[in-house]
Chains A and B, each alone.
Chain A
């Protein structure tokens, strides 16, 4: 942004302050030119917009295609394989939209977590002093980021389907879980009365731990004394809900999976499409994150590490207190881009049949209603909104990580 101003200022220097002397000068006056140019652009865009709208309206009307958003209320009539909220084929198209959106958020959220972990590990490994480990991490990055993610999804999905047994030969796992080609089925927790108290205890302990951390940081800044805030905070977060859990008398029951005639029935099933999509997206994005992490850490000035060593910090302390906080400033902006890419790439779900937003809404709903314009517009708006929200969150995080100039 700053540079843009310089360019603008630079342009302004050319405007000589002289009185207008006629039409010819008017034509060469940058301000007038700017206005004319913009008016032309506005007119062109308006004309284009009007052309599109009028064509669309003519086409829709002439061919008697329904329009408007009324279809969201109508009964969907189809089923969806994975639903995080209640949904049946008697639900509305609008409900199907939410099911798809939540499935997208689920896979994107988990994908971001997993790819970040893998990416940081691989990125650190690339900088390892161990030659073999650094090389292996390099091979991982160079292979994974040069292959189309869609191809990876096909291959992983195929491998998942091929390696798992048919339902009647299901692998029986502990806790009466089953693994077969239809997915991994585990006991499904059913929350009973009193779970609210446990959740409340969890929330309260998290807040308390955060407050503790803030206090410890202030104290360290003021007095220089350390305080094991992280350890105590974690203990608090673990202990408080556990106590509430015991005191409310274990407010949970389980829906146990059972072997049915065709399928394992009951329980909670992780679909193979979900697993393939999650693994594929995570591995692919991790390769990019690894590069970002490597560049970020390598980008911290050598003098900083030397200064940390001179202060007597151990390697681990130097990494945690000096290198990583500075590296994060370099890492976060491109990392945000990768998170956005992962979210957008989750739409590849459509190719392997995971019911994400694009598959359910821009696929099935579009087909059943033929209202292409409305459906695609809603889908694009949702992704746009997700991008904006992610960007804002990461900007906020970035602002917090940025070094405060003193």
Chain B
């Protein structure tokens, strides 16, 4: 009886293991062997990563994963999305459960140096803001002394808000909740006056409130929140792939290469475009990919600007303007090193 049971248990445990042990090797090789990229994303935040009812993911962070998958496999569908809570995200990356963490994660020094990961770039320049109900008549964050503030736990926002109020000599009452839906529900029920988070999240979550027009985002931005993809520490090649796919998308925007015209642009006479799309030189080799890696990425999700507008910009419900996320030549911060 017991041995039968033990066998049964062993079968279950074996069956539950989704990936067998792999020899020590580069992440790229592992991804290729597996046949798909595993990408950690947010459990659901409109514009960045959210599944629809059928489980199809979309968003700015999701696009980056698809672009990386396309650069490796020439197929943007070869990616598996693993939704992660704020608490799980770093362990998931550290343990190898995911290959890339593309989950609106703020690049900070401690995370970059002592949490076992490296950031590969910045795909969204954000800053922390405050959202309040219009009925309160508040016009500035400086008037918020004594207010109750809803904040999600385990985020840099939780620390920033403490710093900001201390610095301004103001007091507040924190309402700290683990998950976003519950945090919003508490804000909605009047449990707190203010909801604080990255500005992009504020715009995204405002849409999910009963009447979005009743809520305003205050003008103050109290922190720098550069959001970007992160990879495990110790695999420079893999970091390079993610970094340069992001740069390729930004460069594509600079050269006006779009999802639509990318095939035509292959015949462009501009040497920079030729190098980017792989019709001149073989820059893919440096990161272990084919020479058309960037072409595939752009073909899959369009250039950075297209992805931005489609997911969070004018083409989306969020209607966030480019602002800091415009190209450097348009007065923004998005600047990609040249490919040569």
Instruction: Point out residues on A near B: beta carbons under 8 Å.
Output: 59-60, 62-66, 77-81, 89-90, 158, 161-162, 166-167, 181-182, 260-263, 265, 272, 350-353, 355, 359, 363-364, 366-368, 370, 372
Contacts and interface: CB of A to CB of B under 8 A. Distances in A.
Interface of B: 86-87, 90-91, 94-95, 111, 113-117, 136, 144-148, 153-155, 158-159, 161-163, 166, 172-178, 182, 185-186, 189-193, 232-234
Among B111, B166, B191, chain A packs the most CB atoms within 10 A around the CB of B191
A259 to B, nearest CB: 11
A81 B174 contact: yes
Enumerate the 5 nearest inter-chain pairs by beta-carbon distance, A residue then B residue, closest first: A63-B116, A367-B154, A89-B162, A161-B189, A353-B177
A262 B162 contact: no
Contact of A181 (B114, B176, B190): B190
Contacts of A59: 94-95, 116
Contact of B176 (A90, A158, A355): A355
B162 A65 contact: no
A77 B159 contact: yes
Nearest to A63: B116
Contacts of A167: 190
B272 to A, nearest CB: 36
Contact of B186 (A62, A353, A364, A372): A353
B153 A63 contact: no
A182 B148 contact: yes
A290 B154 CA distance: 39
Contact of A182 (B153, B177, B191, B233): B191
Contacts, number: 120
Contacts of A265: 146
Given A77-B163, A370-B115, 10 more contacts: A64-B114, A64-B116, A89-B166, A260-B146, A261-B147, A353-B182, A359-B178, A368-B154, A368-B158, A370-B116
A350 to B, nearest CB: 6
A77 B162 contact: yes
Contact of B162 (A79, A158, A363, A372): A79
A202 to B, nearest CB: 33
A262 B193 contact: yes
B189 A370 contact: no
A65 B234 CA distance: 12
Nearest to B158: A78
Contact of B115 (A65, A355, A364): A65
Contacts of B87: 363, 366-367
Contacts of A78: 158-159, 162, 174, 176
A367 B153 contact: yes
A352 B172 CA distance: 20
A372 B146 contact: no
B331 to A, nearest CB: 33
A272 B186 CA distance: 11
Given A63-B234, A65-B94, A182-B191, A353 B176 contact: yes
Contacts of A90: 166
A220 B82 CA distance: 72
Contacts of B173: 81, 182, 263
A353 B162 CA distance: 18
Contact of A370 (B90, B158, B159): B90
A367 B144 CA distance: 27
Contacts of A272: 191
Contacts of A366: 87, 154
Contacts of B178: 350-351, 353, 359, 363
B37 to A, nearest CB: 20
Nearest to A273: B175
Contacts of B144: 262
Nearest to B192: A182
Contacts of A261: 145-147
Given A64-B116, A353-B178, A161 B159 contact: no
Given A263-B146, A363-B154, A62 B233 contact: yes
Interface centre among A167, A265, A359, A363 (most CB of B within 10 A): A363
Contact of A80 (B90, B146, B155, B174): B174
A65 B232 CA distance: 11
Contact of B146 (A77, A262, A363, A368): A262
A69 to B, nearest CB: 15
A370 B185 CA distance: 27
A353 B90 contact: no
Nearest to B157: A78
Contacts of B155: 367
Contacts of A166: 190
A384 B171 CA distance: 37
A350 B189 CA distance: 19
Nearest to B154: A367
A352 B182 CA distance: 8
Contacts of B190: 161, 166-167, 181
A149 B248 CA distance: 51
